[in-house]
Amino acid sequence: MSIVFSALVAVFVGFAASVAVILSAAQTLGATAGQTVSWIAALAVATAISSAWLSWRYRLPMICAWSTPGAALIAAASGFDMASAVGAFLLAAVLMMLTAAFRPLGRLIERIPMPVASAMLAGVIFRFVVAVFDEMRLSPALVLPLLAVFLVARLITPFLGVIAALLAGIAISFAGGLAQWPAGGLALTGLEFVTPRFDIAAMLGIGVPLYLVTMAAQNLPGFAVLRAAGYGPPTAPALFVTGLTSLVTAPFGAHMTNMAAISASICTGGDTHPDPKQRWKAGVVYGALWLTVAGFAGLLIALVLAMPKALIVAVAGLGLVGSLTGALAQAMSSDRERFAAVVAFAVAASSLSLFGIGSAFWSLIAGLVVLTLDFAAGRLRSRS
């Protein structure tokens, strides 16, 4: 029962803490109601298959999830539709598989300075966190109680804060008559195929940053959680499997599946099972539960969409506070790279768009250019 309970908590945390970010991304791309349901359902299926297969195959609690920072990056983009976004999702999935297949590519990605990559992520997430306080100005009676619940609940455990805020927001919305069910409702579930369009601007503005953010903010911490729990994760097979499931589900709207960190920490500790060799079963149960989420994706999204806009924005922002904290800490960790990281952060947090390519890509370019100039200047000063 402890295995089942740990898997259930991990699924609930993974869904409740970040579904609002997915809905924001879907809205940005102009996704229809059917495409939004398909997006969530396809992500749930990819998460289920990757987790169950990897856990069973390697007898390790290999817990996967969707890329929440990646969804935030998509939601911050502009000028793209679902067709061009799906083309970008396919590119990101292929890059992930190539990273698993060709070690030199993995080493090249690892050479990108972590402060610059983290600053790019922090800049993207920053907009969502700031939006919490923008909504507080418009709907103080709803957002202020959510913030209070979040701050108190996180003292118990970090991931409980967002869940408690969401549940409190739902209760306040229904009690205050703020909840409104979508006209016509949503289907129980369904997968809707989106024909991809391979647009250069989308592939550079969404696809490449999505791949980099997922590697830096999701996969690397996910593997670190497993190593901290005493396991030796098979990194290349894990990257290949998550990349493959992402490739198969991308035409149905799923943006990226990857190794989980927070959800994995729930299923890899002693509370899951006293015997570390038995904890792999939590990954299989976790996968089965995600298939259940896929089956009821329409109803779950209908419940979330029934809530007022202020609740969705506030929960999405609060759910990304932890990611913003970690990204800023990593971005500012090195004196030598701090200035470049600040430049990258500022560009990513802006609404910059050049040649149809969004700020996330230019943030990375700007950070690397500044870092290169600083390095060259340092070499010249040392020679003189």
Is the pLDDT assigned to residue 361 strictly greater than 90?
no
Q: Which two tokens stand for residue 288?
A: 């089965």
What is the pLDDT at residue 184? 53
Query: Which residues does residue 65 pair with via DSSP β-bridges, in sequence order?
Result: 258
Is the pLDDT assigned to residue 52 strictly greater than 60?
yes
Ranges 92-101, 122-131, 251-260: which has the least confidence = 122-131
From the CB of residue 166, how many other CB atoms can be counted at a distance below 10 Å? 25
Is the pLDDT assigned to residue 378 strictly greater than 80?
no
What is the pLDDT at residue 44? 96
What tens digit of pLDDT does each residue of 95-107 get?
999 999 887 766 6
pTM: 0.77
Mean residue pLDDT across the chain: 85
pLDDT (mean) for 299-308: 81
Q: Is pLDDT larger for residue 230 or for residue 341?
A: 341
pLDDT band at 265 (very low <50, low <70, confident <90, very high): confident
Phi first, then psi, for residue 258 (nearest 5°) are -150, 180
Is the pLDDT assigned to residue 326 strictly greater than 80?
no
Return the percentage of the chain with pLDDT > 90, whole number: 33
Residue 59's identity, in one-letter code, is R
Alpha-carbon span 370 to 344, nearest angstrom: 9
Alpha-carbon span 70 to 256, nearest angstrom: 8
Alpha-carbon span 249 to 66, nearest angstrom: 12
pLDDT band at 108 (very low <50, low <70, confident <90, very high): low
pLDDT (mean) for 320-345: 84
What tens digit of pLDDT does each residue of 163-213 get?
788 888 888 888 877 777 665 555 567 899 999 999 999 999 899 989 988
Extended strands (E) in the chain: 64-66, 257-259
Alpha-carbon span 218 to 343, nearest angstrom: 23
What tens digit of pLDDT does each residue of 291-303 get?
999 999 988 888 8
Nearest Cα residue to 313 out of 145, 159, 134: 134
Is the pLDDT assigned to residue 272 strictly greater than 70?
yes
pLDDT band at 222 (very low <50, low <70, confident <90, very high): confident
